Amino acid sequence: MNYSLMKEFYEKNKEIFIIFGISILYALIFGGYALCNQYLLILYPANGIYLSSILFGSMLVCTIFSPYISHYLIGIKWTVILGTFGTTFWLISFNIDVPYLIIISTIFSGIGSGLYRSHQFILIKKLYPINVGRNMTISLSVFNMFGIITSPIIFIMLFLDISIYNVLKCFTIIVIISQMLLMFVKNVSNEGKDLNYFSLFKTKIWLLLPLSQVQAINFTTYFVFIPKNMNGNFNSSILLIAAMAVVYSFINPLSTYLIGLLFNKTKSNKWIYFVASIVFSVFACILITYMFKFYIQHKIYDYVLISVLGVLLGVYDSILYTINMIVMAQLFDENVFCVQRIFYCLSVTVFVALVKILPFYVYLGLIVVLNVLSLIGYVLLTNSIKYDNSDKVEYEEII
């Protein structure tokens, strides 16, 4: 009897379970990628910032061609799986003392990430296109759980003085297992029409460009700007970054789910979410300025401040990221994710360079300015189309 009820419950919610399962695998794989990214500047302080530029430069080039690889060669599912192998190679290279291998593996990681990240949500959208808004909310929030899965383990291992290289070996195994499980996901078909995703550049997609730029500068701030300044201002930089990641990782997916749920239910005045993002960006910049310019180290307060920053960034990072992905899935065809990744990769490549070039306060001011531009772009976009918040496969006005 219980088995019958469980089977009935599963069949009734099969779609949600599948989306949840795929997104967990995404989270595990991205956890390994994020681990390498987060400690790139710590393990390679002299060249880490240049490696980050190489990473996103190669990611940009691959993202441009990824729709053609998917459409004409191997399909959406296998594009995702092939892309994840760049992360495996990157993880392995951190443990092998071979000159210049880290440069080669960083390039391959960028290529792989260009394939994987540009198509991971296309796979989600194409599996069950009817409930795209709900499924995107689930997938985004579960995917953002990569920190919950990885950060506590990393923090405990580092706290117990276990080498970061042993942590990397553990995640190499986790990523390989996740890749194998992804192979059991149902394949989905590409669009039957000829591929011309560059036609999207002629649409109002440009109005979403600032949203992608906010995502890019937030990523750069979290993975490059903060580690760079942490390394120069704090003695226990590795442990502090791990502590921030633990707090961030618990706050971010919960906030992502709540933002997605509220945004899907909000019928009007959706611009209020952008105002909230601007407010959070200001608070984040103030706290970062205090920590790196005015604060004097104190062992206990170091962890209090870094935890507060983790909470603030966890909520802030979830707002425009969630909105951007849901809006794109609802209003544009599937190749918009590739266009968005092009915007994103190009922006990250530039912002990583700006971390090195721009004065501290100018960089932080740029974060707030991009949030304001995101609000303007979204208002212009939604005022020019009929957007009724429902889950639809396509909107002819946009695509």
pLDDT band at 395 (very low <50, low <70, confident <90, very high): very low
* Residue 394 forms part of a structural domain: no
| Amino acid 282: pLDDT | 94
pLDDT for 44 beyond 80: no
Over residues 391-398, mean pLDDT: 39
Helix 164-182 / helix 146-159 crossing angle, nearest 10 deg: 150
Listed residue (290, 334, 285, 292) closest to 313, CA to CA:
285
Structural domain of 337? 2-383
Judged by average pLDDT, the poorest of 169-178, 185-194, 317-326 is: 185-194
pLDDT band at 398 (very low <50, low <70, confident <90, very high): very low
Number of structural domains the chain divides into? 1
Give the residue carrying structure tokens 């390039």: 107
Burial 111-142 (b: 16+ CB within 10 A, else e): bbbbbbbbbbbbbbbbbbbeebbbbbbbbbbb
* Residue 330 forms part of a structural domain: yes
| Cα–Cα distance for residue pair 320/259, rounded to 1 Å | 9
One-letter amino acid for residue 250 of the chain: F
Listed residue (188, 194, 170, 216) closest to 81, CA to CA:
188
* Residue 393 forms part of a structural domain: no
Instruction: Provide the token pair at 371.
Output: 């949030």
Helix 360-383 / helix 336-357 crossing angle, nearest 10 deg: 160
DSSP reduced 3-state for 51: helix
pLDDT for 393 beyond 50: no
Listed residue (251, 231, 232, 250) closest to 241, CA to CA:
231
| Amino acid 2: pLDDT | 65
Instruction: Provide the token pair at 166.
Output: 């042993």
Query: Length of the chain in residues, anyone?
Result: 399
Over residues 226-252, mean pLDDT: 78
241-270 pLDDT, tens digit each: 778 888 888 888 888 888 888 888 887 788
Contact 9, 131 (CB under 8 A): no
* Residue 51 forms part of a structural domain: yes
279-328 pLDDT, tens digit each: 999 999 999 998 888 877 667 777 888 889 999 999 998 888 888 888 87
| Cα–Cα distance for residue pair 258/262, rounded to 1 Å | 6
pLDDT for 222 beyond 80: yes
| Amino acid 211: pLDDT | 86
Q: What percent of the chain has pLDDT over 70?
A: 84
63-79 pLDDT, tens digit each: 888 888 887 888 888 88
Give the residue carrying structure tokens 């937030």: 218
* Residue 282 forms part of a structural domain: yes
DSSP reduced 3-state for 235: coil
Burial 347-385 (b: 16+ CB within 10 A, else e): bbbebbbbbeeeeeeebbebbbebbbbbbebbeebbeee
| Amino acid 97: pLDDT | 66
Q: What percent of the chain has pLDDT over 90?
A: 8
| Cα–Cα distance for residue pair 376/265, rounded to 1 Å | 22
Over residues 360-381, mean pLDDT: 90
Domain CATH for 90? 1.20.1250.20
* Residue 399 forms part of a structural domain: no
* Residue 22 forms part of a structural domain: yes
Indicate the average pLDDT of the chain: 80
* Residue 227 forms part of a structural domain: yes
| Cα–Cα distance for residue pair 120/112, rounded to 1 Å | 12
| Cα–Cα distance for residue pair 373/365, rounded to 1 Å | 13
| Cα–Cα distance for residue pair 273/212, rounded to 1 Å | 16
pLDDT for 191 beyond 80: no
129-164 pLDDT, tens digit each: 777 777 888 888 888 777 777 777 777 776 777 777
pLDDT band at 366 (very low <50, low <70, confident <90, very high): very high
| Cα–Cα distance for residue pair 151/246, rounded to 1 Å | 5
Judged by average pLDDT, the poorest of 32-46, 173-187, 324-338 is: 32-46
Listed residue (122, 147, 149) closest to 136, CA to CA:
122
The residue ranking higher by pLDDT, 386 or 226, is 226
